[in-house]
Amino acid sequence: MKNIFILIATTITLFSCKKDLNNTGTEYANEMYHSEAYEPLSQIVDEKNADYNSNPNNPYKMNMRKPVTNTLKISKFNFNFGNSGVVIPATYHIDKDSFQLSGRTLKNPLKLKSTFLSDSVALLEQGKVLYTNFCKHCHGENGQGDGEVGKIYKGVPSYSKGSVKMDTEGHIWHTITFGRNRMWSHASQINPEDRWKIVLYVQTLQNQE
């Protein structure tokens, strides 16, 4: 019985091959290769092709629009805060494993900028909004590791207990940027300046009783 299955499988495999090197052969699960949705990074422009996939609403029927003029690649981006002279290189050229180095050396440039109390309050409020969008579902409203996702994900620490309470601002920034163990990096979602705003807010959660 087993042999029959092997024979059938081999026959199907062989017959699905084609001589033409550019031909992918018979596709059994078509929609896994060519999704119904517009594919941003690949598109089939030949209208006769059964998998024709091009967006009629865009110029030249492109599936992905070109980035707007003057768009900067994130790694080339320097954050300069008004006239403060504070510049944050997008990456501090610190290795992802160098938690201790970041913890010791990176200082929050936003603190230097916010000489007025109203500035600090505004930054903290923005930090809270960002925290709510990006961290709360795991870390919980009060940073106790009890967010809706955190409860299922497990292993999410409380900010105000144990070693995490002692995490410096540089260490928190590094964690958001590169992730740590089971926590993923958030570098692609949150720009460096916004990460520092979140750090300000996480610090208030570290210092709660």
**Is position 200 an interface residue for ligand HEC (rule: CB under 6 A)?**
no
Q: Residue 205 in contact with residue 141, Cβ under 8 Å?
A: no
| Interface pattern 31-70 for ligand HEC (x via CB under 6 A) | ----------------------------------------
Q: Shortest distance, CB of residue 6 to ligand HEC, whole angstroms?
A: 43
Q: What is the C-alpha to C-alpha distance for residues 185 and 177, in angstroms, rounded to an integer?
A: 5
Residues 176, 178, 196, 197: which binds ligand HEC (CB under 6 A)?
Answer: 176
Residues 129-168 close enough to bind ligand HEC by CB under 6 A? 134-135, 138-139, 149, 153, 155-157, 164, 167
Q: Shortest distance, CB of residue 126 to ligand HEC, whole angstroms?
A: 13
Q: Residue 174 in contact with residue 94, Cβ under 8 Å?
A: yes
Q: Which is nearer to ligand HEC, 90 or 164 (CB)?
A: 164
DSSP-assigned states of every residue in 128-154: HHHHHHHTHHHH-TTSSS-SHHHHHH-
Give the binding-site size for ligand HEC (rule: CB under 6 A).
Answer: 22
Q: Residue 105 in contact with residue 170, Cβ under 8 Å?
A: yes
**Is position 198 an interface residue for ligand HEC (rule: CB under 6 A)?**
yes
- Cα-based angle 101, 102, 105 (whole degrees, multiple of 5): 80
